[in-house]
Structure 1
Amino acid sequence: MTMATTCAQLCLRCRSPLCSKILAGTWQYCTQVRHCISVTRAPTKISNGLFIRENHTTTQTRPKWKQQMCYYNDLTAKYLTTEAKEDKYTEDLSRIDVVAYESPVLPTRDAVPVTEKQPSLDLDAAVEFSALEEISEEAAASISIPSAVPPASTSLRDYVDKSETLSKLVQLGVNLWKLEQRPNVGSMLLRLDFNTDVAPRLLFLKDIGVEDTRFGYIITHNPFILTESLENLKARVNYLKLKKFTSETVASMVSRAPYLLNFSVKRLDNRLGFYQQQLNLSASNTRNIIARLPRLLCGSLEPVKENLKVCEIEFGFKENEIQHIVIAVPKVLTANKRKLTQIFDFLHNTMKVPHHLITKFPQVLNTKYLRLRERHLFLEYLGKAHYDPTLPNYISLDRLVSLPDETFCTELASATVEDLYLFQKTR
């Protein structure tokens, strides 16, 4: 009765639906306590915030009931003094009312004497567990959590920790940031299985002589080799060996031209035939230029045809001169047309070098235009720009473009490197 009187006084101070509800529940509880000496019910035990029913019989004495009444009084005062929103008061209080109505005996802080054996909780037999229920360490360790793979991302970096294939490719030296910029390559790599798709092709490359350190370069530039069938890859390697390319040459060609094995045998045969017929080369010379520049079998033929026409029509080289230039410097076939024209124009029209000297030293067509220009102007300033073999103090075109600055200055210009650098600043 003292608890009910206290609640009534509190509610007079705070006339709200919340306090009225507390008063009603408290008054009903006190009425039940007065008429009950002992109760045989299924009490409610609180464990980790969950209400778990237990089936046992207990006899509560009067001191125990007084302790429960004090506990309920403390609980009521706690809800009255909390500065929370009204909707949370209503939610929490409704939960208290349900417990009070279901069982007049509220849980205490002390353990209730147990007269019957409690049923054991079988974790294995449970269908599902509550997020707040305590379980053993063994049961916690047995819980499997599926890996969370991002459903969508603009970068393969988010999938590396979740995909075995991507993590192994990174270890091989593959640059994923380059591959993710290419359409559909990222999704293709995520669908591949390392053991069944990637590993067999890596073993094949190793068997034909490709170094392990080249795997990352090959896959970075040609990830589609991982989708080629092993039968096709073996057939293309066998074709190259049939054309008398050695095993070491084939391995070198594949390492430097990653797309080489993606082309069919028919296309490879057509490319070899094109260069042999277009340049009127022997089989040995054809193998020589292909082995030194294997990307001739992979790239487009249009730049090659255009450069051949430029050399013949614009530059005025004869067929045998073009043949000699290509055998010595195969890069002329794939060089940038503007750069090639700029170098030839400076050699022939400014430096007055005739065609036969350019043919004799074709490496000059593969040099940097700025280096060629600065060194010629420096020699001309010193009065030593003599490129005719019949003149005294003749300077070879090959040495002109191939020597480092120190050697060029001391051996050809008879000057110091400082003189060269000072001259370059004045230009």
Structure 2
Amino acid sequence: MASSCTQLCIKHRLLRPVRTVALSTCTQVRHCCTVTRPRHPPAVTGTQTKYQQGQHIRFYSDLIDKHQANKDVTNQLIHFKDAVPLNESPTSLDLDAATGLYALEEIDDEEAASLAPFPVIPPASTSLKDYVDQSETLTKLVQLGVNLWKLEQRPNVGSMLLRLDFDTDVAPRLLFLKGIGVDDSRLGYIITRNPFVLTEDLENLQARVNYLKSKKFTAENVASMVSRAPYLLNFSVKRLDNRLGFYQQQLNLSASNTRNIVARLPRLLCGSLEPVKENLKVCEIELGFKANEIQHIVLAVPKILTANKRKLTQIFDFLHNTMKVPHHLIAKFPQVFNAKFLRIRERHLFLQYLGRAHYDRDQPNYVSLERLASSPDDIFCTEVALATLEDFYLFQKTL
């Protein structure tokens, strides 16, 4: 009896994959599918975790290669509104006008055998790779360069992406980012780091951009800041204003200098203020710099506000207590804090071995911190140490 019913259904096209049925299936997936980690996952070893992560990376790499022919999705976004009339739903289907889609039309056995079954969509999964082929949003995000394997490791992000519609949710935000000057090559990076920008209200996004421009940030500054600090547009105008005021008052900076350091290091507006406050206290109390010296250091190297506290104290201790470099010379070239401690130590010991470790400007053969920390090995050896590169390498082996 069951076999007869199946044959009858096939005979009358009841199993033909009509688009309306597919649409209902997609709707069910949006409401049913969750891509979250199990509440009590089984014990997995470190080797297994690395293997699974490697499998996901290879899977998404293959997807990117598969869609290389359609990689210019961003160029198609500009025309997506014209593809569907305003008074017509993009998912509507005129069954009466369509040919060959009548549910009760009889077909022959050969055509019935060629019908493909519906793809099996899992009701739940711990990986987005199971949904990429069935989701237009995920497919186009892969084409944009979004790393789904990174997003699926974050709680509830996978479920959020599956609920988004590309035309109504994703495309308008991408067009907004392109409109403020963000380069196409940065769209994938921004969404990978901050997928929640796809759920932000467009009016709020525009208000935050308008605020930054009202503070005399240029359009190029805003585009660069958003590209390098993807969470910037997720914060309210009030928070952005409070952050700018904090840096201006704490460092006693002018409005122009405040814009300067924020434009060069936009994550200052996004991260926590506690590390910044701590580093300022370290520079003042532990390292002993004066207020004007701290101001000069921050203007030259804004990164020092978020640098590792241990690295700052380690480099300063070696410069000031071992190399006997005074505060004012360190403040004059604060880029030395960006150098590696081992690099500074090895070069100082080599100069000391050669009798050329002179960091006082009044002494002959004076060596500046800039040449000590920033010069390539060959230039350091020939112009500063007056030795050969081979001699320096041999000396390093003795340390």
TM-score of the two chains, using structure 1 as the length reference? 0.68
For residue 405 of structure 1, the aligned residue among 372, 377, 393 is 377
Is 1:135 the counterpart of 2:109 in the alignment?
A: yes
Q: 2:279 and 2:141 mapped to 1: Cα distance?
A: 38
Alignment of 1:378-397 (within 5 A): 378-397=350-369
CA deviation string 1:149-204 (max 9, x = no partner): 22222211222112111111111111111111111111111111111111111110
Match of 2:174 in 1: 202
Q: 1:205 to 1:124 in 2, by over 3 A?
A: closer
CA–CA distance in structure 1, aligned partners of residues 391 and 116 of structure 2:
74
2:270 maps to which of 298, 305, 309: 298
Instruction: Determine the structure 2 residue equivalent to 1:414.
Output: 386
Per the TM alignment, residue 140 of structure 1 is displaced from its structure 2 partner at its CA by: 5.5
- Cα separation, 2, equivalents of 1:358 and 1:207: 43
Q: Structure 2 vs 1, CA of residues 125 and 237 (structure 1 numbering), >3 Å: closer, same or farther? A: closer
* Equivalences for residues 273-288 of structure 1 within 5 A: 273-288=245-260
Distance 1:171 1:358, change over 3 A: same
- 1:52-63 alignment runs, 5 A limit: none
Aligned residues: 300
Partner of 2:286: 314
Question: Is residue 332 from structure 1 mapped to residue 304 from structure 2 by the alignment?
Answer: yes
Is residue 354 from structure 1 mapped to residue 326 from structure 2 by the alignment?
Answer: yes
Alpha-carbon separation, structure 1, partners of 2:113 and 2:201: 45
Distance change >3 Å, CA 253–CA 126, structure 1 → 2: closer
Q: 1:393 and 1:155 mapped to 2: Cα distance? A: 62
Alignment of 1:244 with 2:216, yes or no, is yes
Show the counterpart of 2:96.
none
Report sequence identity in percent: 80
The offset of 1:125, in angstroms, is 4.2
Distance 1:253 1:125 in 2: 59
Alignment of 1:15-164 (within 5 A): 125=104, 135-137=109-111, 145-164=117-136
Question: Gaps spanning 5+ residues in structure 2: where?
Answer: 8-101
- Structure 1 window deviating more from structure 2 (248-257 vs 414-423): it is 414-423
Give 2:215's aligned amino acid.
Answer: K
Aligned partner letter, 1:261: L
- Structure 1 pair 124/196, CA: closer, same or farther in 2 (3 Å)? closer
Specify whether residues 355 and 124 from structure 1 end up closer, same or farther in structure 2 by C-alpha distance, changes over 3 A only. Answer: closer
What is the deviation of 1:284?
A: 0.3
Q: Bigger CA drift: 177-186 or 280-289? A: 177-186
1:146, distance to aligned residue in structure 2 (A): 3.4
Question: What is aligned with 2:342?
Answer: 370
**Partner of 2:186 in structure 1?**
214
What is the CA-CA distance between 1:410 and the residue it aligns to? 1.0
User: What is the distance in 1 between the residues matched to 2:104 and 2:299?
Assistant: 80
Aligned AA (2:151): L
For 1:355 and 1:363, locate their aligned partners in 2 and report how far apart those are by CA, in whole Å: 14
Secondary structure of the 1:161 match is helix
Output the CA distance in 1 between the equivalents of 2:132 and 2:378: 48
Residues 105-145 of structure 1 show CA distances to partners (whole Å, capped at 9, x for unaligned) of xxxxxxxxxxxxxxxxxx96489x9xxxx6142x556x574
1:124–1:226 CA distance, 2 compared to 1 (3 A): closer
Q: Which residue of 1 aligns with 2:141?
A: 169
Instruction: After superposition, give the CA deviation of every residue in 1:13-40 in whole Å (9 maximum; x if it has no partner).
Output: xxxxxxxxxxxxxxxxxxxxxxxxxxxx
Deviations 1:42-93 (A, max 9, x none): xxxxx9xx9xxxxxxxxxxxxxxxxxxxxxxxxxxxxxxxxxxxxxxxxxxx
Distance in 1, matches of 2:347 and 2:192, equals 38
Deviation per CA, 1:183-234, whole angstroms, max 9, x where unpaired?
A: 1111111111111111111110101000000011111111111110110100
1:267 Cα offset (Å): 0.1
TM superposition shift of 1:148: 2.4
Taking CA–CA contacts closer than 8 Å with sequence separation of 6 or more, which of the two structures ends up with the larger relative contact order?
2
SS in 2 for 1:335: coil
Q: Which residue of 2 aligns with 1:80?
A: none
1:259 is the counterpart of 2:231:
yes
Q: Deviations over 1:266-325 (max 9, x none)?
A: 000000000000000000000000000000000000000000000000111110000000
Higher alpha-carbon Rg:
1
Alignment gaps of 5+ in structure 1: 1-46, 51-122
The residue number in structure 2 matching 1:26 is: none
After TM superposition, the runs of 4+ consecutive aligned structure 1 residues lying more than 4 A away are 123-127
